[in-house]
Amino acid sequence: MKKRFLYLFFIFILSISITNSLYGIENIDLTVEAQSAILIEADTGRILWEKNAFEPRAMASTTKIMTCIIALEKGNLSDEVIVSKRAAKAPEVKLYLKEGEKQRLEDLLYALMMKSSNDVAIAIAEHISGSVEAFCEEMTEKAKELGAKNTVFKTPNGLDADGHQSTAYDLALITRYAMQNPKFVEIINTRSLTIPKEGNYRSYYLNNTNRFLDEFPGANGVKTGYTGKAGYCFVGAAKQNDMQLISVVLASGWGPRGKEQKWIDTKKIMEYGFKNYKKVSIIEKNQYLKTIPVIKAKETNVPLYADEDFIYPINEEEKSQIKIKLKVPKIIEAPVIKGQKIGEVQIFIVDQMCGKISLVAGKSINRHDFFTCLNKVLNNWLILKK
């Protein structure tokens, strides 16, 4: 009996192993310590994995991702920023700017993201919007525009404050947007730098505190964070084989263990994403998909083609669960113009729509009926009369 049980147990384990192998699903322990976490694919925004990703909580210095992108969009990199008393008095971590000191905005953005300087964040906020409060309102408004509806900024540096909150999902959305800015990407991937880059200003040496850049293949961002309320947080980014992933871990712990755990959590999530998902071309631009009838024309039908590529991150199991539905009229009346939108193709995975693209006419078709023919005859006759 015991031998039979062991035999059946062995067969059960083997079947699971074979199934996982067939579907390309790695046996990765995705138990993470972070209280909230998420992994998304940057191009599509698809959520590949999440844990309590929509729960609002403190987010510490990951706040500075938004601070940086607002400054890049609304400021001029060559602007001269004058440090106020409020900025100079900001608590650590800081650059130790002095009241009345002047620095170029571009140089301060490197200090903001590489060193996570709290005094720099205040100086930038006051320079861009006139006050910290006005700047935070702009940050919150921008978050809402990006779809980060559960995010409210009360500080530009992420220090704990009543109502200052975000979610793992919202931070992923904000980072996805920020990563589209080449200067932002350049800043967060700089390992070390002495500022100022130019000009006669006080000099500072900056060293990037983001260990992830050197410890994970393809890592290209983004920002660390810690406060007593938020715990250790990290927004990570990595690109492998043309697939850009963004991860967020919030409250990975406190103390020395939590400080290390944020890196462990992030690497575990990223490994899961890259080992299990690949970007697949489901529909190609100019791919023929259907022909529909045309009336009031000499030609009886028009071919329809995809207007763009549809590339999506999927795992091996999902490849067999892709469904395509065409939404087109049963018949169309001439005239038809080449490139004219006729309908759309909807793409489903496991019965959930993941996207749609337009279907366009593959050629132009002139109208041909009694009235159009009569009109042509009359026009030709009038031309001859002239």
Length of the chain: 386
Lowest mean pLDDT among 95-104, 112-121, 194-203: 194-203
* Residue 245 tokens, joined: 């992933």
* 83: preceding bond cis by omega (within 30 degrees): no
Given a cut of 90, whether residue 27 has pLDDT beyond it is no
Given a cut of 50, whether residue 17 has pLDDT beyond it is no
* pLDDT tens sequence across 30-49: 899 999 999 999 999 999 99
Encode 242-274: b = buried (16+ Cβ within 10 Å), e = exposed.
ebbbbbbbbbbbeeeebeebbbbbbbbbbbbbb
Lowest mean pLDDT among 163-177, 223-237, 292-306, 371-385: 371-385
Given a cut of 70, whether residue 245 has pLDDT beyond it is yes
Q: How many CB atoms sit inside 10 A of residue 212's CB?
A: 24
- Angle between helix axes 132-145 and 64-74 (nearest 10 degrees) is 90
Q: H/E element holding 234?
A: strand 231-240
Task: Give 122's pLDDT tier (boundaries 50, 70, 90).
Answer: very high
* CB 98, CB 81: distance < 8 Å: no
Amino acid 20: pLDDT: 40
Quote the CA–CA distance of 349 and 320 in Å, as a whole number.
Answer: 9
Q: Tell me the mean pLDDT in the region 17-23.
A: 36
* pLDDT tens sequence across 259-316: 999 999 999 999 999 999 999 999 999 999 999 999 999 999 999 999 999 999 999 9
Q: Which three-class secondary structure state does DSSP give residue 241?
A: coil
pTM over 0.85: yes
Return the HEC string of 331-369.
CEECCECCCCEEEEEEEEECCEEEEEEEEEECCCECCCC
Domains of the chain and any CATH numbers: 28-276 (3.40.710.10), 281-370 (2.60.410.10)
